[in-house]
Amino acid sequence: MQTHLLGFSRMGKLRELKRALETYWKGEIGAEELIATGQELRARHWKLQRGAGIELLPVGDFSCYDHMLDMTAALGAVPARYGAPDGGVDLDAYFQMARGGQGVPAMEMSKWFDTNYHYIVPELAPDQRFSVNVNKLLTEIEEAKQLGGPIKAVLPGPITFCTMSKSTDPGFDRFELLSAIVEAYEELLGQIGGQCDWIQLDEPVLAQELPDEVKGAFNNAYDALLKAASPAKAMLATYFGSIAHNLDELEDLPLHALHVDLVRAPGQLDAVLESLPKQTKLSLGVVNGRNIWKVDADKALEQIRQAVNTLGSDRIMLAPSCSLLHVPVDLEDEPELPTDIKRWMAFGVQKCQEVGKLAAAATGQDVATWLDENRAAWDSRRSDPALHRQDVRERIGSLSPTMYARPLPYAERRPAQRERLGLPLLPTTTIGSFPQTTDIRAARRDYKRGDLSEETYLQRMRDCIRGVVNRQEELGLDVLVHGEPERNDMVEYFGEQLDGFCFTNNGWVQSYGSRCVKPPVIYGDVARSKPMTVTWSEFAQSLTDKPMKGMLTGPVTILCWSFVRDDQPRSETCRQIALAIRDEVADLEQVGLGIIQVDEPALREGAPLRVSDWDEYFRWAVDCFRLAANVAAPETQIHTHMCYCDFNDIIEHIAAMDADVISLEASRSRMELLEAFRLFEYPNEVGPGIYDIHSPRVPSVDEMANLLRRAVAVLPVDRLWANPDCGLKTRGWEETTASLRNMVEAARIMRQEL
Ligand code: GLN
Ligand code: ZN
């Protein structure tokens, strides 16, 4: 029973890669040093993996930025604007594609399926050329070979590559290029097939519904690829969902192995076992690669046993469910986690060990000590009172349908809010955060360390809020915010104050490029023991006669951006968070806030891979938002905010949230996404972003007035707001002030025009 990995973290446990990348970008180290850091990390990680019991090592999963970008480079599919000769990519061209530079914009970035990892979206043009370059792969294969033992090259598969790409020309169907892409892959596999034992091609798109043309292409493509890869054996890897609905496409393929995710989709095992071709091995993904909990060994062994009974143990391989890119490296580096909670957890290295131990257990070796320890950890977790709080359970049990809805429909809330708030046409506002200066960060850090007294800290934050409020009044904004200086992160800030959450010291996970996030861990029942934002918002409101917007993070976003407990459905945990936020909404209302924003930027991202599973997801996700926000009285205005997302296929769910106002990222799409709202005849108010906050550029009055004109052409003007795309915390004061001044002026001009 061979053990393997689909991939591993690239950053290193101390984020060594991040540091090397950022100093290289600043010009403080040379390319050699960056390359050496990569080499060292790969060697270290392979040794860790082998030491932990992984036989077949992954190669090619390492990347200096992103594995999809590496694939684009390996295929030589470099967009013309990067001017790389013959499609070849050196380090600088590679980073230009990733980050832009010298007047050339970066390639687009998008979320990798339902994760918070962002990949660089390949661009395919009608006259696309490919020019294969396997230097990176061959170098890494050479390095891995020095360790001895079998190795497996890991690549995104061609169907996934093509599906996750975008066409440069909207009229062009990029799937017309599929056969050319497959040919390029054949050439590539031909060049590495003699150098490694296995080649793994990742096709997570198999967990989605595929268009017929794409489905039909699978068989031929993989027939050719299997031949090209020989003598290396080929594994097709799937994850993040069930592939039961696409098994027909694989039935006649003489694959050497198929990997399935039995954590996310245990139910697919029967169907997979039944349809697996005779010569194909089955790789069981039984250890969760997306979360930080210990495997439930008994449950996993049961799945393994079922597969062994049908196939025999030599046709079984064992692995985590997906790449370990999505979990931190090593639990040993967490000295401060409470020991009873730490005992329930496993990070990357520990997950490798679990795979090794499970394989040993399944092949009759004596791992009794490990099994006992695993069972004891689970027993202690199951019986921990923090996971089953009577008060929380009772409250959930007593929820009534009226708690999910506002007391009056929007049409009747609207006049009440207008009267209370007295806002002009096209009211101007911002999304919440203002520039987080070094002073602010230092004050928070020093306070946390104990180097700053509470009194001084509070004073500094209040000064900061006063400054933000004054600035907004000077600029003439209509609805003000306090600026969020007290928040390190929109999820962590709330998690730190809620029961049921804990935090790691080094639990970093790559988000994109050198950027990492440290998701909070939700281990127990969630409850709010005291107000979390009220004193800040109340103070801010006291400084102005203009309406102040209270600012909260929504339950779905808190859920999606945390490591969530796996002993109950996500929907259940989300409902608990929703109740905590609900209490905060009620308290903000109590102290007189007339507008409360509940941000849900992760709502769309949390949707499962199969569209047929969406209704179920959105039903509970939207319910949780409603439970959190809809405690508000009719004359209190509820806002929500979402970052860039395609609203076309989810607009009915957005409408069901029933927020009075939703602000969106819209400037880069030039208001195109408002079309979904128009077609749906979306009844409530919308604030399409009219300037891009991802760039320091100051948009002109004209530019923003034009965007507003476009918006007014699509939606009724008395339903529209003027605001930036998102929060301003990554911006500097200078460009923020100039941009907001222009924004307010653009709204004023528009009001006159109308
Ligand atoms: N209120 C948050 C802010 O302004 C929203 C951030 C987000 O949408 N990601 O920073
Ligand atoms: Zn946003």
pLDDT single digits (tens) 502-555: 999 999 999 999 999 999 999 999 999 999 999 999 999 999 999 999 999 999
Q: What is the pLDDT of residue 87?
A: 56
C-alpha 135, offset from chain centre = 30
Distance (angstroms) between ligand 2 centre and the Cα of 197 equals 45
**DSSP per-residue codes, 547-608:** PBEEEEE-HHHHHHTSBPPSSS-HHHHHHHHHHHHHHHHHHHHHTT-SEEEEE-TTTTTTS-
Percent of the chain whose predicted confidence (pLDDT) is above 70: 99
* pLDDT tens by residue, 192-203: 999 999 999 999
**pTM of the predicted protein model:** 0.95
DSSP string computed for 118-158: EEEPPEE-TT-------HHHHHHHHHHHTT-S-EEEEEE-H
Q: Calculate helix-pair angle for 348-362, 297-311, nearest 10 degrees.
A: 50
3-state percent breakdown (helix, strand, coil) of the chain, nearest 5: 50, 15, 40
Atom in ligand 1 nearest the alpha carbon of residue 551? 1
State mean pLDDT over 74-93.
Answer: 83
Beta bridge partners of 234: 199
What mean pLDDT value characterizes the chain? 96
pLDDT in tens, 227-280: 999 999 999 999 999 999 999 989 889 999 999 999 999 999 999 999 999 999
Rounded mean pLDDT, 103-132: 92
SS (H, E, C) 614-641: HHHHHHHHHHHHHHHHCCCCCCCEEEEE
User: Per-residue pLDDT for 316 more than 70?
Assistant: yes
**Binding residue per annotation — 605?**
yes
Read off the pLDDT of each residue in 643-657 and give the average, rounded to a whole number: 92
Beta-carbon contacts of 245 under 8 Å, excluding residues fewer than 6 positions away, are 209, 610
Segment 560-602, tens digit of pLDDT? 999 999 999 999 999 999 999 999 999 999 999 999 999 999 9
Residue 85 pLDDT > 80, yes or no? no
pLDDT band at 84 (very low <50, low <70, confident <90, very high): low
Q: Is 32 marked as a binding-site residue?
A: no
The CA distance from 173 to 746, in Å, is 38
Residues carrying an active site annotation: 694
Closest atom, ligand 1, to C-alpha of 641: 8
pLDDT at residue 165 greater than cutoff 80: yes
Query: How far is 308 from 315, CA to CA, in rounded Å?
Result: 8
> Which of the 8 DSSP states describes residue 245?
G
Which residues line the pocket of ligand 1, CB cutoff 6 A? Answer: 431-433, 484, 490, 551, 599, 601, 641, 643, 726-727, 729
Confidence of residue 415 (pLDDT cuts 50, 70, 90): very high
Q: Where are the alpha helices (DSSP H) in 476-569?
A: 492-495, 534-542, 555-560
Give the distance (Å) from ligand 2 centre to CA of residue 681.
23
Helix (H) or strand (E) holding 523: strand 521-528
φ, ψ for residue 483, nearest 5 deg:
100, -5
How far apart, in whole angstroms, are the C-alpha atoms of residue 395 and residue 579? 9
The per-residue pLDDT for 465 is 98
**CA 585 → CA 262, 439, 543, distances in Å?**
39, 30, 20
pLDDT at 86: 63
User: In which element (H, E) is residue 458 found?
Assistant: helix 454-475
CB 70 within 8 A of CB 98: no
Q: Tell how far CA 568 is from the center of its chain.
A: 21
Residue minimizing CA distance to atom 9 of ligand 1: 601
User: In sequence order, which residues have a C-beta less than 8 Å from that of residue 697 and are 6 or more positions away?
Assistant: 735
Q: Specify the pLDDT at position 170.
A: 83
First to last CA, the chain: 72
ipTM above 0.90, yes or no: yes
pLDDT at 80 over 90: no
| Distance separating alpha carbons of residues 680 and 641, to the nearest angstrom | 19
CA–CA distance, 435 with 472 (Å, rounded to integer): 13
Residues ≥6 apart with Cβ < 8 Å to 242 = 207, 261, 264, 265, 267, 268, 610
How many Cα atoms are found within 13 Å in the side-chain-facing hemisphere of 313? 13
pLDDT tier, 668 (very low <50, low <70, confident <90, very high otherwise): confident
Which residue's C-alpha comes closest to atom 4 of ligand 1?
727
